[in-house]
Structure formats: C-alpha cells, structure tokens
Structure 1
Amino acid sequence: MKKYFFILSVLVIGLASCSKNSEPEPIVDPAVQAKTDDDAIVAYLSAHTDITAVKDLNHPELYYQVLAEGSGDPITENSQLVVSYTGKTLSGATFDARDDFSLKLSQNIIAGWKIGVPKIKNGGKILLIIPSALGYGPYANGPLPANTVLVFTITIKSVDGHTPSVDPI
C-alpha cells in the first residue's frame, strides 16, 4: 500500500511541476490607454477631414457622426433592431461586416454600440469611433489585438419589425 501511495505522490508532484508557466497578461493603466486611444482618434480625424465626428457629451471618450438621423420612436435597449454594419480599425482594415444583423442593445454587445446606436432612429446611419475601453478593452478578439480602437458604420434597417418609411418623391 505504501508503494502505491508513493507512486501516486510522485505522479501528482510530477504533473504539478509540468503545468504551463504562462506569463500573466500585461496590465494596462486605463488612464494611459484612454489617452493613447484619444490621441490615435484625434490623429485619425486630422487625416480624414471628411469626417466631422464629435465627442459624446456623456461619454467623451466616444466620437460619433450622425450620417442620417432616421425617423420614428427613439431606439431603446429593448428595441429589436436589424442593422447593417461595417467594422474597421483606424488603419482602414475591415474586421467585420454584416447585413441584416438582428440584435437588442441589452444583449452582450460592446458598450460603444450601446451608447452610440440610440443617437439615431429607424433608417438612420451613424459612424462610431470607439476607444478600446468601450470596445473589447485589453482583450484580443479574433483578428483584433488588445486595445484596438474601432470604427463602425451602422445603418438601422428596422426597429421592432418596422422598416423605415420612405417619403414619396
């Protein structure tokens, strides 16, 4: 019996010593990252003079430009939306694009969308420039490295099953 206990002990110790010695994720100071993101966004806007995005008054880290306001009732977190969107990095690389994507803002989506999308209504279109803290933060997501600033162009195609009304010409 002592022989089996000894062998089991050696196995447990051996396996424990073989565990991965992974390095912890680097800790990023949120204030430093916010400044880095804002500097990158300001540089992006300086290079793209056709974009007239402004800072959100309640969330000054978020920049947005309403491209078309849309009409109808305001969008809430419980509105069932169908949207088309394109997500890019500041370098212009597209990392995601979808047409007829269905969601509610109460779902598990990035904070930048929760803040920005209600600025437009049914049929509206918005450009959101989202700092990393309101995006995926210090975590990589698919092809995106950690702390990536995101640029989304979002068009609302329907709200609660209602497509936007088109004015007759």
Structure 2
Amino acid sequence: MIKRMLVLLFVVVFLNSCKKDTGCSATESSFVAPASETAALQAYCAINAPAAVAHSSGLYYEITNPGAGSSATICSNVTVNYEGFLTNGGARFDYSTSPVSFQLAQLILGWQKGIPLIKKGGSITLYVPPSLAYGNTDVRNNAGIIIIPANSYLKFTIQLVDVQ
C-alpha cells in the first residue's frame, strides 16, 4: 500500500513539474460597459450590423468563421490579421499588412472578450464601446496626430491566425 502511494505521489510531482510556466498572472476582467454605451452601440448595430450579437460585456460581434482547434485564453499569445475603423464615418485608423502577434492580456478589453469567441483560423467583427477600448483617452500616431478620438466606438475585423 505504501509503495503504491509513493508511486502515485511520484507521478503527481513529476506531472506538475512538466507544466509550462507562462509567466502570465493576468485574470479575465469582469468589467461591463455602462448602459449608455451599450444602448448607443445597440442603436448603431441595429442600422449598420443587424446580425451582430450582444456580448455580456457590452460589445457586439459577428462571427464570420468560427475556426477550429484552439481558443485563446487571457494568457494566450495570439497572431492576427486585423483592421480597425471608427464607427462615426468608418475611417480606418489601423491595420496589419501581415500577421502580428500579441499577448491577449495586453490588448484592449474588447479584444480580450471577443477573440476567445473564435478558434484558430476563425474570423470575427467586433463592435467595441469606448470603455472596452481606449475610454476617454485620445490615441495618437507616431506623428502626434489623433487617430482615435477619446470616447470613440470602434469596429475591428479580426482573423485569428494562430493561438499559443
């Protein structure tokens, strides 16, 4: 009996020592956008994206391809192709010309909530309220020009190329 317990203890210790330490201590945010932002985004989507689905966080999304395989978690490194647009006129403020990689925990809350809704190879469009994006902060490009005004509602088209 003692021999079996020692073998079992050895196996448990051995398997725990094989776990990878990702160095990520991030936890999922439970933040929810204010009702006023959610109502404004709902009105926008009713006209411009009637198939969009409301997420419990306050963002809206449309999955164009669910993908297959791995889903991202808050500590995942994600590789994506993306475009970002302002919803008030549709001006594109950012895009990738080739896949780029990020740790999901380092991205805006809208991406942290939206990207895990698809799997590797999937595509999604996110409609993000200001509080799940950049809030009341202007975002400037390298030349100092404001590309995302404070309190902007944003639209992102994202293709999840890889999840690690």
TM-score, structure 2 as length reference: 0.69
Q: 1:69 aligns with which of 58, 66, 70?
A: 66
Is the counterpart of residue 55 in structure 1 residue 63 in structure 2? no
The one of 121, 125, 132 aligned to 1:127:
125
1:101, CA displacement in angstroms? Answer: 1.0
Indicate yes or no: 2:157 matched with 1:159.
Answer: no
Tell me the TM-score normalised to structure 1 length: 0.67
**Take 1:43 and 1:106, find their aligned partners in 2: how far apart are those partners?**
29
- The AA in structure 2 aligned to 1:43 is A
Provide, for residues 104-128 of structure 1, a one-character-per-residue CA deviation record: whole Å limited to 9, x for no partner: 1122x11100011000000000111
**Distance in 1 (alpha carbons) for counterparts of 2:138 and 2:43:** 23
Identical-pair percentage: 37
Superposition pairs of residues 1-169 of structure 1, within 5 angstroms: 31=34, 34-35=35-36, 37-49=37-49, 51-57=50-56, 59=57, 61-90=58-87, 91-98=89-96, 99-107=98-106, 109-142=107-140, 143-160=147-164
Structure 2 gap ranges (5+): 1-32, 141-146
Instruction: Give structure 1 regions of 4+ aligned residues with deviation exceeding 3 angstroms.
Output: 37-40
SS of residue matched to 2:79: strand
CA deviation string 1:74-123 (max 9, x = no partner) = 2112222210000001121100001311111122x111000110000000
Offset, 1:44: 2.3
Question: Computing the radius of gyration over CA atoms, which structure comes out larger, 1 or 2?
Answer: 1
Distance in 2 of aligned mates of 1:74 and 1:39? 29
Tell me by how many angstroms 1:39 deviates: 4.1
Q: How large is the Cα RMSD of the aligned pairs?
A: 1.7
Q: CA deviation at 1:54?
A: 1.1
CA-to-aligned-CA distance 1:120-156 (integer Å, 9 cap, x gap): 0000001110000000001111211110001001001
